[in-house]
């Protein structure tokens, strides 16, 4: 019997040389070393490429296992738990068998997915009924049922989903270039999923189901693999996402397949113009809302990376100007403390994202001076010298003047603690995509922002895709600490996602991602994003208006972004 030499990197990068016999799977290897891991393992990285645990080892190589608490592990756990949820619903209600009712995963909400039943006999389950669904999920988990990968001809898979009444899956697969596609089977139920899965239901034991609005939320663990926190979200976020879904429904584009249909039929220009008109209308409504409250002097804008904050601030300013106000853009970056006073991270690097990196006393002093009719000297931060400068600019507020302030801490009340609450209007902006990959695969909002940033950083900062992907975890950590906790305090949540943007970004992002070498730690993430973009038909940027938020990333904006 043949044997293979494996370099197994255990937690802490402890290398262990292992010899395994022919027929050994990655799951077998994991089970031999299970005690070394403080959380369940979901996947393996085999020679720099992600592999499912039921993959058989057929050559020498190196292995790093991916835990449930890591990003790829969380994604694998969540999509596998969605299949478990579908099977439990099927067992209890026959939702997949009668084809008249099915559950649709609509979007992420908190640490979970918001789901609704759709179809001829739409249901709204009570909390008591959801508890029975959870019990059935746990029963299937305890049975440790295998989740099998099954290869189909693409046209056969299309036909299968057509008969199931799953139109979005059928359309999605219609645009796949590959002649074959992998489906997953759980106790006779077949479905398609974007990404890797666990080998069996025994890996899926932590989740909760909570009623919410017209559906329910399946909640997942976050940082602790065995702890599921209660749902914490405001209706503002749900209402924003619901309104975005209404836009999608109005344009008949709720999934990637429907978007591809529109592009393939030559309707892209109409889609772009209609969606941009809807966005301009909403920005105009926001401006009107601000104008109707004369006490408002400070519009505070904050949001995570690559949300389009700068373009949005410019477009809002134009709308305010058109309604008789005199907007003045202010960047919180200009209130950075001098570099030698900036706090540092544990590794010695400067922490530009903490509130203490901003001169909060000076900001409050200047804003109060303006509010009381005084004049201030406008600061400007020199990023080359790391010092604040004054270049002769001054500002004094008249009756119709409004400051449009954009920055990471805009929604943190500690930033503007000395300003009257009635003088502030808070806007949280993020790219909350309203598209779904299909009925059971929500399109990851974070991935959309990452693709935006990869394209923008390569164009404006000379940063390659590998570097952007490498720094993304620290960017996300900063968002979770300094931005997300304050979103519920916003007066308005603005969705900057555009239905067509990934088809445009694809043209710019793919060449950048293909540059990442196979041996790089960021290679598996690049491959995942390339697969993600492969679902979309490409679309040129020619029809995208120069004032579009998308221009902040692909270039050609009329604004200084």
| Residues 491-532 pLDDT 10s | 999 999 999 999 999 999 999 999 999 999 999 999 999 999
Contacts of residue 270, Cβ cutoff 8 Å, sequence gap at least 6:
none
Integer CA distances (angstroms), 285 to 101, 250, 288, in order: 37, 19, 5
Q: What is the mean pLDDT of the chain?
A: 93
Q: Quote the CA–CA distance of 358 and 350 in Å, as a whole number.
A: 13
Q: Are 106 and 442 in contact (CB under 8 A)?
A: yes
- pLDDT of 353: 86
Given this model, what pLDDT does residue 101 score?
53
Lowest mean pLDDT, pick from 96-110, 176-190, 451-465: 96-110
Selection from 140, 251, 131, 157 nearest residue 202 by Cα: 140
Can you name the residues that pair with 151 across neighbouring β-strands?
Answer: 182
Residues 6+ apart with CB under 8 A from 384: none
**Would you place residue 120 in the very low, low, confident or very high pLDDT band (cuts 50, 70, 90)?**
low
Among candidate residues 185, 254, 198, the one with its CA nearest the CA of residue 27: 198
* pTM of the model as a whole: 0.92
Q: According to the model, what pLDDT value does residue 312 have? A: 96
pLDDT number for residue 96: 46
Nearest to 304 by CA among 66, 478, 167, 157: 478
When mean pLDDT is compared across 229-233, 255-259, 279-283, the lowest value belongs to: 229-233
Which pair of tokens denotes residue 87? 């099977």
Helix (H) or strand (E) holding 473: helix 465-482
**Predicted confidence (pLDDT) at residue 95 exceeds the cutoff of 60:** no
- Has residue 97 got a pLDDT over 60? no
Mean pLDDT in residue range 385-400: 93
Burial class of 28 by CB neighbour count within 10 A (0 to 12, 13 to 18, 19+): middle
In this structure, are strands 375-382 and 387-396 parallel, antiparallel, or unpaired?
Answer: antiparallel
Residue reference for tokens 């499912």: 52
- What is d(CA 196, CA 174) in angstroms, rounded to the nearest whole number? 21
Give percent of the chain with pLDDT exceeding 70. 98
User: CA nearest 518: which of 462, 464, 466?
Assistant: 466
| Phi, psi torsion values for 308, nearest 5 degrees | 85, 30
pLDDT at 328 > cutoff 90: yes
Confidence of residue 233 (pLDDT cuts 50, 70, 90): confident
Angle at 506 between CA 503 and CA 510, to 5 degrees: 165
Contact at 8 Å (CB) between 3 and 20? yes
Distance (Å, whole) CA 227 – CA 88: 21
Query: Taking Cα atoms as reference points, which of 73, 50, 66 lies closest to residue 518?
Result: 50
Over the stretch 428-463, which tens digit does the pLDDT of each residue have?
Answer: 999 998 889 999 999 888 999 999 999 999 999 899
Element (H, E) at 554: helix 551-554
Beta strands in 100-214 (DSSP E): 101-109, 112-119, 147-153, 180-186, 189-191, 208-212
The rounded distance, in Å, linking the Cα atoms of 45 and 341 is 42
For residue 99, pLDDT beyond 70: no
Helix (H) or strand (E) holding 240: helix 235-250
Tokens coding 168: 């979005």
3-state secondary structure 428-459: EEECCCCCEEECCEECCHHHHHHHHHHHHHHH
DSSP state string for 488-526? GG-SEEEE---TTHHHHHHHHHHHHHHTS-TTSTTHHHH
Q: Which two tokens stand for residue 390?
A: 């004054």
pLDDT tens per residue, range 532-550? 999 999 999 999 999 999 9
pLDDT of residue 271 exceeding 60: yes
pLDDT at 9 over 70: yes
Q: What is the spatial distance between Cα 423 and Cα 415, in angstroms, rounded to a whole number?
A: 14
CA pair distance 326, 425, nearest whole angstrom: 16
Q: Please give the share of the chain, as a percent, with pLDDT higher than 90.
A: 81
pLDDT digits (tens, 9 = 90+) for 479-492: 999 999 999 899 99
Instruction: Determine the Cα–Cα distance for residues 448 and 465; give it in Å rounded to an integer.
Output: 14
Average pLDDT over every residue of 189-215: 96
């Amino acid at each position: 019997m043949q044997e293979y030499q494996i370099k197994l990197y255990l937690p802490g990068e402890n290398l262990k040389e292992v010899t395994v016999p022919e027929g050994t799977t990655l799951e077998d290897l994991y089970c031999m070393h299970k005690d070394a891991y403080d959380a369940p393992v979901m996947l393996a990285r085999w020679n720099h490429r992600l592999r499912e645990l039921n993959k058989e080892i057929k050559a020498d190589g190196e292995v790093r296992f991916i835990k449930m608490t890591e990003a790829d592990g969380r994604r694998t756990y969540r999509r596998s738990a969605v299949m478990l949820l579908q099977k439990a619903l099927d067992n209890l209600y026959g939702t997949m068998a009668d084809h008249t009712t099915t559950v649709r995963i609509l979007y992420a909400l908190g640490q979970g997915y918001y789901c609704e039943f759709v179809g001829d006999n739409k249901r709204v389950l009570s909390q008591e009924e959801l508890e029975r669904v959870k019990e059935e999920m746990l029963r299937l988990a305890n049975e440790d049922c295998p989740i099998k990968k099954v290869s189909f001809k693409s046209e056969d898979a299309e036909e299968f989903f057509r008969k199931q009444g799953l139109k979005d899956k059928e359309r999605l697969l219609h645009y796949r270039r590959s002649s074959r596609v992998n489906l997953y089977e759980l106790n006779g139920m077949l479905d398609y999923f974007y990404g890797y899965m666990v080998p069996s239901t025994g890996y899926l034991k932590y989740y909760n189901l909570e009623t919410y609005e017209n559906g329910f939320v399946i909640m997942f663990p976050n940082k602790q693999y065995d702890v599921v926190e209660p749902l914490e979200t405001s209706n503002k976020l749900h209402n924003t996402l619901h309104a975005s879904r209404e836009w999608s429904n109005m344009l008949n584009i709720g999934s990637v397949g429907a978007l591809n249909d529109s592009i393939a039929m030559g309707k892209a220009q109409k889609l772009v113009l209609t969606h941009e008109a809807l966005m301009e209308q909403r920005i105009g409504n926001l401006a009107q809302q601000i104008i109707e409250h004369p006490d408002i002097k400070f519009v505070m804008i904050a949001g995570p990376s690559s949300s389009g904050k700068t373009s949005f601030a410019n477009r809002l300013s134009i709308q305010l100007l058109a309604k008789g106000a005199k907007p003045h853009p202010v960047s919180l970056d200009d209130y950075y403390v001098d570099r030698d006073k900036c706090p540092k991270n544990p590794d010695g690097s400067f922490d530009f994202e903490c509130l203490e990196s901003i001169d909060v006393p000076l900001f409050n002093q200047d804003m109060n001076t303006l509010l009381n009719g005084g004049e201030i000297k406008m600061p400007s931060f020199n990023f080359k010298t790391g010092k604040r400068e004054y270049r002769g600019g001054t500002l004094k507020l008249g009756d119709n003047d409004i400051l449009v302030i954009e920055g990471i801490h805009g929604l943190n009340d500690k930033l503007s603690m000395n300003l009257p609450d009635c003088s502030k209007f808070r806007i949280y902006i993020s790219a909350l995509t309203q598209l779904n990959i299909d009925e059971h695969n929500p399109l990851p909002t974070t991935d959309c922002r990452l693709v935006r940033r990869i394209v923008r950083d390569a164009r404006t900062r000379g940063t390659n895709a590998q570097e952007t992907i490498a720094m993304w975890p620290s960017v996300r950590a900063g968002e979770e600490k300094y931005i997300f906790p304050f979103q519920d305090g916003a007066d308005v949540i603005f969705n900057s996602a555009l239905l067509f943007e990934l088809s445009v970004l694809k043209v710019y992002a793919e060449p950048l991602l293909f540059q990442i070498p196979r041996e790089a730690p960021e290679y598996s993430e690049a491959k995942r994003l390339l697969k993600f973009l492969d679902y979309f038909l490409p679309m040129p940027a020619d029809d995208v208006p120069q004032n579009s938020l998308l221009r902040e990333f692909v270039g050609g904006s009329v604004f200084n972004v």
